[in-house]
Structure 1
Amino acid sequence: MKSQEKSLALYERAAKSIAGGHLSNFKQHPGNPQTFFDHFEGAKMYDVDGNMYYDWSLSSGPCILGQHSPIVINAIKEQAERCYSRQYMEIQVEAAEEFCKYVPCADKMHFAVTGGESILYTIRTARAYTGKNMVVRFNGMYHGGTDFVLGGVPTTDSDYHAVNSYREGDDYSKACYTTGRAAHALNDTYLIDFNDLKQMEELFRSDNDIACVIMEPVCLNITGCMPEPGYLEGVRKLCDEYGVLLVFDETLTGFRIGLHGAQGYFNIMPDMASFAKAVCGGVPGAAFCGKEEVMKVLDDCTCIIPGTYNGNSISAACMKAVLSELGKDDGAAYQKIEKLGNMFKEGVLDAAKKHDIPMLMQGFAGALFPVFTEKSVIRNHKEALAYSDLDKMHRFGALMKQNGVIGDDRYCVSLAFTEDDVIQSIAIADKVLGILKED
């Protein structure tokens, strides 16, 4: 067990001036105390107590170049010397051009500051374009903290209207439940299951006032469910047939699954998409984009996208620098990510087999989920609740942290990793799985 004396003292100090003593509810885990960090080197993190950890969290995903990347640091320094506020400069144009070069559906883009804001503006734009109101979401997916997309559950198994509640045994719906939500906030949203085209078609037939479907192309906030073969194609076809916009939330898949996002990886063109996290390499910054005819509703400012810090020059400089680096040699960086991610996946699964623990590593090479199940695949959140042990997944994550690997349940690869970092991380996973077997 690593000493956390200084971290615990800092937490007690933080609780006196910071509400709750944490920066996000999702950073607070019972039995897994918050760790305060001092510095980063490559893929290693060092806390205030002098402990070293392998960084598979990357600040919940953004730091695809690592948390101490010279490329990001230099972009910040060089731009800050010129301007660090949101003034109109050439850097925003250059960043937008770099972004649109790589994202298939990005005829036009618009800057935002956070993924949550970007999603809010994406849905507003979709409603403005279609003249329709309802939004379709998916159980187990996360689209930020705004009232009308945060959590909720379907009214019943046959009524997909979202309500502000949670299900017993569903830690994810409980984590996204909040008091203080506007009473009407979820009235305009539906919740259905990922990888279930029948539910979507039933819903489309029952309501012709649906503006958009918003979805993570890969369920990367819990259990890493991949789309089944033909599923995304089926979603695209249904949206076309019923006049519904298809929106990809690429907050996590964007520039992590590949240079052209999930839409390039799966060769499915959404009407709009939202990006954050890796798009600026760890610096706050986001963007949403879409086809020319959709984004045109923003031209006359009748559909407004406000934001003092939209396209601030530091974020724009980092966006340009990060995307330029990822785009070198036609995205050669992703070969390294795939190699190291698959190396980690295979090593952990070999260790699980050694300890006779039924386990999957779901997702893709750049973002992997340990799933404790007897099933050969978990298709959606409904199956995760029924057939996987989420408590064991959280226990695995806590033990990994205690032994030197931090991953937030989701294990993401950065370009700062070396093969030795991965080998050492696998050895820790082997030790942790041994502990789980004893438990």
Structure 2
Amino acid sequence: MRIMDLYNRQVRHYLPGGVHQNFNFPWREVPIYSVRTKNSHIWDMDGKEYLDLFSYHGATILGNGNKKYSAVMHDVVKNNMGAAHTDFELQTIELIHKTFSAAQMIRFGVSESEMINDAIRLSRVFTGRKKIVRFENQYIGSNDNLLGDNNNDFRRTQSMGNIGLEDSYVIRWNEIAAFDEVIGEHGKEIACVVMEPVSVSHGSIEPEKDYLQQIRKRCDKNGIVLVFDETNTGIRAHYGGAQELYGVKADLMILGKAIAGGVPISVLAGKKELMSLYQTQEVIQGGDYNGYSLGMAAINTTMSILFDNDLKNYKYLQRQAEKIKSVTSEVSRYTEFPMTVQGPLLCSAIHCSDKVLKSPDDYTQEILMKEIVLNDCMQRNGLLVETPLTLYPNLMFQDSDLGIYADRLEKAVKEAIEVLEA
């Protein structure tokens, strides 16, 4: 029996299910317990090494053990950890403001869920309306009124009648007709539309041509606040976020994960007329760790490492991601196993399909089953990716890692073929 199996038995006595969240694959009862990370590699308690394309849900974009990042974090912990405000927060705020076009004013929190909740609260006060629109298969936080789509969705939680869920209109992604139907009937009741501009949480499905532009136009016409949750796409879709990539500006945006290189912090930014409601005390936001020094330093350091010297490191990371995509296509070709890499390079997803998926309808049970099996085979062969097959490369990914990726992916694909044909 593996050391990790025995360890997990002990953990389960105190940690429900032995895991930290409820979105793990149900049959994967024993998670990977890491003892060491370095560059783009992770080692578990049994000494097994993995190539890290998981990057802790996309957060550790600089890789494991980046020297400059680690030095700054150590210095802040040693010398400036207890401060509510610091002498470097202006630099951090200005960097966000200059990078993201929608960020006229900025507030900080710790998690995506609280920032989404704050964005909705701002929108409701600003518009005097209550209802929100969100989208199927997009994770935008774990609040009761945002979790799950319907009674059959595994993400929907049992609570006191799913408080606030009746104030949400949940529609299908990439279907402008469905959006028009809701807006046509309830447009004057809706405070905000909340979405991932790329549906990263459902396989990196990009918006159809002009889809975001049409949403923007309809929100303007009906006085609705448009909120982009860029927790996954901020920095990874484009150095200026998905808004820069697709040319559509939101009224409010949420940033997190990669923006701070792995240290937990979340950002709510947006138009001055909305954000100024905090200054006039019409809306209240609070949190003991809002703007805490380690998180502020992490944002500043991460963005500086990636963007300094004319985006030198960011461009390198994009080139490495392009190589990963190319190798994946090559393995698909010579194993004759369908794999398509889609979405922005730094938050792309592998789909076991010969074509790009454009809507939830394209995501068939056959494709999903292949991806579940392949994910399991990849992990057994030392490749870590996000569930089910999202690729989050980091700055430490070297050309030598590319050969490792190709070899392990080929082995995983061949193993998956055997499992699926059995």
Say whether the fold is shared (TM-score over 0.5): yes
The aligned amino acid for 2:360 is H
User: Equivalent residue for 1:401?
Assistant: 379
Task: Measure the CA separation in 1 of the matches of 2:253 and 2:90.
Answer: 19
CA displacement at 1:282 relative to structure 2: 0.3
Residue 252 in 1 paired to residue 224 in 2? no
Please tell me the residue identity of whatever aligns with 2:149.
G
Higher mean displacement: 230-239 or 353-362: 353-362
Is residue 58 of structure 1 aligned with residue 38 of structure 2?
no
Give the equivalent residue in structure 2 for 1:170.
none
User: Are 2:283 and 1:286 equivalent residues in the alignment?
Assistant: no
- Measured in 1, the distance between the counterparts of 2:249 and 2:22 equals 34
Under a length normalisation based on structure 2, what TM-score does the superposition of the two structures give?
0.94
Residues 1:13 and 2:10 are matched in the alignment: yes
Identity among equivalent pairs (%): 26
The residue type equivalent to 2:315 in the other structure is: Q
Task: Classify 1:28/1:82 alpha carbon distance in 2 versus 1 (closer, same or farther; 3 Å).
Answer: farther
SS of the residue 1:119 aligns to: helix
CA RMSD of aligned residues (A): 1.6
Show the 5 A alignment for 1:68-147. Answer: 68-147=65-144
The alpha carbon displacement at 1:248 in A equals 0.7
- After TM superposition, the structure 1 = structure 2 runs for residues 142-161 of structure 1, keeping only pairs within 5 Å, are 142-153=139-150
Which residue in the other structure is 1:304 paired with? 284
Name the CA distance, whole Å, in 1 between partners of 2:39 and 2:98.
29
User: Residue 277 of structure 1 aligns with which residue?
Assistant: 257
User: Which of these residues, 345, 348, 361, is aligned with residue 368 of structure 1?
Assistant: 348
More helix by share: 2
SS at 1:326's partner residue?
helix
Find the residue that maps to 1:249 and give its secondary structure: strand
In structure 2, distance between residues paired with 1:183 and 1:220? 25
Question: For residues 119 and 156 of structure 2, what CA distance do their matches in structure 1 show?
Answer: 23
Does residue 383 (structure 1) correspond to residue 380 (structure 2)? The answer is: no
Confirm or deny that 1:331 pairs with 2:328: no
Given that 1:352 and 1:358 are in contact with CA atoms closer than 8 Å, whether structure 2 keeps it comes out as: yes
Amino acid at match of 1:276: G
CA distance in 1, matches of 2:135, 2:11: 35
CA distance in 2, matches of 1:266, 1:92: 29
Aligned length: 416
Structure 1: gaps spanning 5 or more residues: 154-164, 167-172
Amino acid at match of 1:198: A
Displacement after TM superposition at 1:266 (Å):
1.4
The superposition leaves residues 338-384 of structure 1 with CA deviations (integer Å, 9 ceiling, x where unpaired) of 2111211121122122222223212121122121235x221122331
Q: Please, which runs of 5 or more residues in structure 2 have no aligned partner?
A: none
Distance 2:113 2:369 in 1: 27
**What's the CA shift for 1:296?**
1.3
What residue number does 1:392 align with? 370
- 1:143-222 alignment, distance < 5 Å: 143-153=140-150, 165-166=151-152, 173-174=153-154, 176-180=155-159, 182-207=161-186, 208-222=188-202
Name 1:162's counterpart in structure 2.
none
The one-letter code sitting in structure 2 at the alignment partner of 1:190 is Y
Q: Which amino acid aligns with 2:294?
A: I
Q: Do the aligned residues in 2 keep the contact of 1:152 with 1:186 (CA within 8 Å)?
A: no
2:20 paired with 1:23: yes
Q: Please identify, of 276-285 and 181-190, the stretch whose mean Cα deviation from structure 2 is larger.
A: 181-190
Deviations 1:274-311 (A, max 9, x none): 01101111011010100111111111222111111111
The yes-or-no answer on 1:35 pairing with 2:32 is: yes
